[in-house]
Amino acid sequence: MFLSLLFLVFTLQTDQREDISRWLGYLESGNLEELREAIRQEPGEARAAIETLIVDFDHSIHSWRDAPEQRRVNYSDTLLDSGLQLSQMVTEVTGDDFLQRRFEARRDRVAATELLNDGEFEKAMSVIQDVRATARQLEDQSFLFSTYLSSAYAHLGMGMPEKTLEDSKTALQIARQIGEKVKYTLALFNLGTAHLHLGQNDEALRYSSEAAESAAQIGNSIWEANAWLNVGYVEITQRNHQAAEEAFGKTLSLSQKAGDPVGEGRAYYNLGIVFLNQKQWTLAREHLESSLRFIRDVDIRHSHDIDEYNYVEKFTLEALLHIYKQLKLEDPAVIDPVRHSLEEFAGRSSSGDQHAH
């Protein structure tokens, strides 16, 4: 099972920092009485500052890898803490907890995402459902959209692709209502991935191709690379080798441009499979050997910590020995390290699928 939904990737920053510096200054200096008085005198300005903090915090959330074998949720602790404190103070002074509830829901959403990254899918779903209820109560469509991306990922991890498809369709509908290109692109990609997991190739190809085009329009190379990866996977399952090669080639160049090791490793691996299927031994060798540089450190099946048994690595090593035989290659300096690595897999239990996307 490949958990490939792009459910956490808001990375832009606002340029409204000057609008909130005054209010943050009260918090940083500990002048809470002055802060209370300022809120009493200018409640509208205080609320506007919190609204800006909410936007900034949402844009600070992204999914990136601090280490090549991980993909973890990242966000601004400072913005979250400041938003919670300031919104709580506004509630205290005005009696209106609307903004406080919005920040608390975001705090809980981050907690749910961390559970997702740890594979605690059922626990995450419980939190997501509570957050979604709050988003509906607050009529926060943008935030509601993010809960459906998260639950789509959770359902995929729980082996419920039909539910993933439902969530992805709802996310796309909300994205269209909101009219934001970024959210629309994410929803397209996730819907394509959901269809892919269900083996619905025509729909997967349609939405993934649209996602690639949309990602290119907003200039997000990683999203575009992942969308082309899905396109390539559809083509390879249908044995459209040329189309698959073109799609994976785009994934490779875009991943290299973005500095994304997981995308690069996936591209090399899948290109190797395309050439292997066509008995193009030299090209297959070149790309599978290149993929080993990544898949020994990164489980390209799902982008999180690698298991003790990395099926993709084992399959690659086996494929390389077969390729060396076809090429009549007898160089011990090339062959022996591959054989030694395969021996290390002896006695381990295997699981997974040979295609990583």
Least confident residue range of 60-74, 168-182, 309-323, 335-349: 60-74
CATH topology of domain 205-357: 1.25.40
pLDDT surpasses 70 at 356: no
Q: Could you tell me if 50 and 87 are in contact, meaning their C-beta atoms sit under 8 angstroms apart?
A: yes
Q: What is the mean pLDDT of the chain?
A: 85
pLDDT tens digits, 209-232: 999 999 999 999 999 999 999 999
Q: What are phi and psi of 145, to 5 degrees?
A: -55, -45
The sign of the CA dihedral 291, 293, 299, 303 is negative
Helix (H) or strand (E) holding 327: none
Rounded mean pLDDT, 240-260: 95
In the chain, where are the structural domains located?
205-357
- Coil, strand or helix: which one is 72? strand
Amino acid 323: pLDDT: 97
For the ranges 5-9, 57-61, 208-212, which has the lowest average pLDDT? Answer: 5-9
Residue type, 21: S
- Dihedral of CA atoms 120, 123, 129, 130 in degrees, nearest 10, equals -130
Closest CA to 75 of 89, 57, 91, 99: 57
Handedness of CA 113, 301, 303, 307 (dihedral sign): positive
Helix residue spans in the chain (DSSP H): 21-29, 32-41, 43-60, 77-94, 98-117, 121-137, 141-157, 161-178, 181-197, 201-218, 221-237, 241-258, 261-277, 281-295, 311-326, 332-343
Whole-number Å distance between alpha carbons of 152 and 176: 18
Report the alpha-carbon distance of residue 79 to residue 102 in Å, rounded. 13
pLDDT, mean of residues 90-111? 93
**Against a cut of 0.95, is the pTM above it?**
no
pLDDT band at 62 (very low <50, low <70, confident <90, very high): low
Predicted confidence (pLDDT) at residue 300 exceeds the cutoff of 70: no
Q: CB-based contacts of 193: which residues, under 8 Å, 6+ apart?
A: 4, 5, 168, 204, 208, 230
Q: Percentage of the chain surpassing pLDDT 90?
A: 63
* pLDDT tens for each residue of 109-139: 889 988 887 889 999 999 999 999 999 999 9
Q: For tokens 């390729």, name the residue.
A: 323
CB atoms inside a 10 Å sphere around CB 36: 15
How confident is the model at residue 347, as a pLDDT? Answer: 67
Residues 6+ apart with CB under 8 A from 324: 285, 334, 335, 338
- Which 3 state secondary structure label does DSSP give 18? helix
State residue 290's pLDDT score: 96
CA 237 to chain centroid, in Å, comes to 23
Q: Among 22-36, 236-250, 286-300, 304-318, which is the least confidently predicted range?
A: 304-318
Q: Can you give the C-alpha Rg of the chain in angstroms?
A: 23
- Residue 304: what pLDDT? 43
335, two tokens: 């062959």
Q: What pLDDT score was predicted for residue 298? A: 61
Q: Which range among 2-6, 16-20, 80-84, 117-121 shows the weakest confidence by mean pLDDT?
A: 2-6
Using 50, 70 and 90 to split pLDDT, how confident is the model at 72? Answer: low
Residue 301: pLDDT over 90: no
- Per the DSSP assignment, residues forming a β-bridge with 63 are 73
63: phi then psi, degrees, rounded to nearest 5: -115, 105
